[in-house]
């Protein structure tokens, strides 16, 4: 029996190259702590100083993530974390959505009379949690990252303290989210019991070499972990929290949740999914049974999301149910990925495109929202095109993109996703997905009908649009159309990102 080596000082230092690779994480952590300190320095006007520091942090983090897109994978901290093109790709999604969220929040917080500094700090902390989730290669690190993200977001959801719906939403989200985390943690413990390790790579190796995948312990653990993730991505039957939370949260945070949170959950989901041996034929419980379970979940998610969205009249709830529906499409990609030639890259393209168009839609919503998030019913949008043609046009672009109409990012993303699913032989699933997205056109276009074909309601004044929001809005419109017309740079980026998985 060999002796255990427990003291390994060499693990405690970081080489220069590792520090460089981790620079986005350090930047965001440092920025968050600096912002926290600044929020108590009264004479510096915390409202402004913290806002500027947070915006600069998100920008800096995104800039530092760029080199990672084409770099080689580098495992740090004894392989617990990896910095590779995959994590850099997601870092960009997280930090850019955090940036946009910060930019549109300033005026929103002012008009809602909410306090500023902690809000920005919490956005940065949740972005840090997301970045760690995308880089984690060890289940304990993954769990801690997940909780860092979730705790910050729970608090952000409850930010409109005076509002009853916000309180209800935050409470619901906190309790259900806590339960889902506990379920996932129990699954992690069982998988550790079955394989003797929590390292994602090592789990896969032990599954392959020792046949641990056949044990009941492993199957139950794997299912529980997947159930935890299904909650985080809000797949049916774990979707009940989502519409209420989306409605109760401040509008910019809802936008952040639909993009950052969803992308983070999928980023970690894919890594763990691979580690459980999906698509490798190692374990029947994962290969066939889990496939069938996910298949049913994907179909239910698409149908329930789209059908319930038809009956909604509040824009936030429409987008919440549409977000559930999009989770369904993403799950189609997840199921099909190991057997298609494109692998997980179509999933990444979809997440990036979805982030752009959804953030855009929420910028418009933030600008339209009245006191206490009123004025977001379909009726309130009547004739917006006459008073505010720019907003109406941008919203139209985002809605067409969500419906998947060319030449927008949504069309390209959906096309790639469904194409890879067809290649993988999931034809019935794709047929259902296409039919569901045909249903979705109805409720997206209904918003357009209200905006363009109704008379303006009397008394409503056109809101003053701040320059930050215009910049954010314009960039999202450009990204949505640009990816729609020239998708190859994004597709190439995504291909590179998944190459090393």
* 3-state secondary structure at position 82: strand
3-state secondary structure 7-60: CCHHHCCCCHHHHHHCHHHHHHHHHHHHHHHHCCCHHHCHHHHHHHHHHHHHHH
Closest separation between CB of residue 32 and other proteins, Å? 8
Out of 104, 128, 309, 493, name the contact with other proteins by CB under 8 A: 128
Nearer to other proteins, 17 or 216 (CB): 216
Closest separation between CB of residue 77 and other proteins, Å? 4
* Stretch of 127-135, 295-303, 478-486, 493-501 contacting other proteins, by CB under 8 A: 127-135
Out of 206, 262, 271, 496, name the contact with other proteins by CB under 8 A: 206
Out of 63, 73, 155, 291, name the contact with other proteins by CB under 8 A: 155
- Told to check if 120 binds other proteins by CB under 8 A, we report no
- Told to check if 144 binds other proteins by CB under 8 A, we report yes
Site for other proteins in 84-113 (CB under 8 A): 109-110, 113
- Told to check if 485 binds other proteins by CB under 8 A, we report no
- Told to check if 121 binds other proteins by CB under 8 A, we report yes
Out of 23, 24, 31, 39, name the contact with other proteins by CB under 8 A: 39
Nearer to other proteins, 47 or 172 (CB): 47
Task: Give start and end residues of each alpha helix (H) in 196-290.
Answer: 200-210, 216-232, 241-248, 251-256, 262-275, 284
Closest separation between CB of residue 124 and other proteins, Å? 9
* Stretch of 99-107, 123-131, 476-484, 493-501 contacting other proteins, by CB under 8 A: 123-131
In the chain, how many H helices and how many E strands? 22, 2
Out of 34, 82, 132, 268, name the contact with other proteins by CB under 8 A: 132
Q: Which residue has the tokens 């990925």?
A: 337
Residue count, binding to other proteins (CB under 8 A): 64
Token duo for residue 62? 């995104």
- Alpha-carbon span 196 to 404, nearest angstrom: 45
- Told to check if 80 binds other proteins by CB under 8 A, we report yes
* Stretch of 89-97, 114-122, 358-366, 443-451 contacting other proteins, by CB under 8 A: 114-122
Token duo for residue 297? 């979940």
Distances (CA, A) of 87 to 73, 122, 175, 230, 390: 9, 21, 29, 21, 35
- Told to check if 159 binds other proteins by CB under 8 A, we report yes
Q: What angle do CA 156, 159, 164 make, to 5 degrees?
A: 125
Closest separation between CB of residue 268 and other proteins, Å? 14
Closest to 284 in 3D by CA, of 354, 218, 380, 239: 218
- Told to check if 247 binds other proteins by CB under 8 A, we report no
Closest to 127 in 3D by CA, of 54, 178, 180, 77: 54
Closest separation between CB of residue 154 and other proteins, Å? 7
- Alpha-carbon span 398 to 479, nearest angstrom: 11
3-state secondary structure 268-325: HHHHHHHHCCCCCCCCHHHHHHHHHHHHHHHHHHHHHHHHHHHCCCEHHHHHHHHHHH
Burial code (b: 16+ CB inside 10 Å, e: under 16) for 447-484 equals bbebbbebeeeeebeebebbebbeebbebbbebbbbbb
- Told to check if 114 binds other proteins by CB under 8 A, we report yes
Q: Can you give the binding site for other proteins, defined by CB under 8 A?
A: 1-4, 6-9, 11-12, 29, 33, 36, 39, 46-47, 77-78, 80-81, 109-110, 113-119, 121-122, 125-126, 128-129, 132, 138, 140-141, 144-145, 147-148, 151-152, 154-155, 158-159, 161-162, 193-197, 206, 210, 212, 215-217, 219-220
């Amino acid at each position: 029996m060999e002796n255990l080596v427990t003291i390994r000082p060499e693990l405690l230092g970081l080489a220069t190259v590792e520090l460089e690779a981790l620079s986005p994480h350090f930047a965001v952590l440092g920025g968050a702590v600096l912002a926290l300190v600044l929020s108590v320095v009264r004479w510096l006007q915390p409202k402004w100083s913290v806002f500027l520091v947070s915006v600069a942090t998100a920008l800096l983090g995104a800039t530092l993530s760029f080199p990672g897109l084409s770099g080689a994978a580098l495992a740090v901290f004894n392989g617990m974390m990896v910095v590779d093109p995959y994590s850099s790709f997601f870092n960009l999604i997280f930090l850019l959505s955090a940036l946009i969220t910060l930019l549109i929040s300033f005026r929103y917080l002012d008009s809602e009379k909410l306090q500023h500094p902690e809000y920005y700090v919490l956005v940065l902390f949740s972005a840090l949690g997301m970045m760690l989730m995308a880089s984690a290669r060890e289940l304990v690190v993954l769990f801690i990252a997940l909780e860092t993200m979730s705790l910050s977001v729970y608090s952000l959801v409850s930010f409109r303290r005076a509002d009853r719906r916000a309180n209800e939403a935050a409470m619901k989200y906190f309790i259900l989210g806590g339960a889902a985390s506990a379920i996932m943690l129990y699954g992690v413990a069982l998988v550790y019991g079955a394989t003797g390790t929590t390292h994602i790579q090592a789990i896969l190796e032990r599954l392959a070499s020792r046949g641990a995948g056949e044990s009941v312990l492993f199957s139950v653990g794997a299912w529980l972990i997947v159930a935890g993730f299904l909650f985080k991505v809000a797949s049916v039957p774990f979707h009940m929290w989502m519409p209420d939370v989306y409605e109760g949260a401040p509008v910019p945070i809802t936008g952040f949740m639909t993009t950052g949170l969803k992308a983070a959950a999928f980023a970690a989901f894919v890594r763990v999914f691979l580690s459980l041996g999906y698509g490798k034929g190692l374990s029947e419980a994962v290969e066939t049974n889990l496939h069938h379970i996910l298949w049913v979940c994907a179909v239910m998610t698409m149908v329930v999301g789209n059908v319930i969205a038809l009956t909604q009249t509040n824009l936030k709830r429409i987008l919440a149910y549409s977000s559930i529906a999009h989770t369904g499409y993403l799950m189609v990609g997840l199921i099909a990925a190991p057997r298609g030639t494109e692998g997980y890259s179509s999933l990444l393209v979809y997440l990036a495109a979805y982030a752009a168009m959804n953030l855009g839609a929420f910028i418009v919503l933030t600008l339209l929202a009245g006191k206490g998030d009123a004025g977001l019913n379909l009726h309130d949008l009547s004739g917006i095109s006459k008073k505010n043609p720019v907003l109406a046009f941008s919203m139209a672009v985002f809605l067409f993109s969500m419906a998947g109409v060319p030449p927008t990012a949504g069309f390209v993303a959906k096309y790639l996703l469904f194409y890879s699913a067809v290649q993988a032989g999931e034809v019935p699933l794709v047929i259902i997905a296409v039919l569901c997205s045909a249903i979705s056109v109805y409720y997206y276009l209904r918003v357009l009908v209200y905006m363009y074909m109704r008379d303006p309601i009397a008394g409503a004044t056109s809101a003053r649009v701040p320059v930050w929001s215009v910049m954010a809005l314009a960039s999202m419109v450009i990204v949505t159309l640009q990816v729609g017309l020239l998708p190859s740079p994004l597709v190439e980026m995504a291909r590179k990102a998944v190459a090393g998985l």
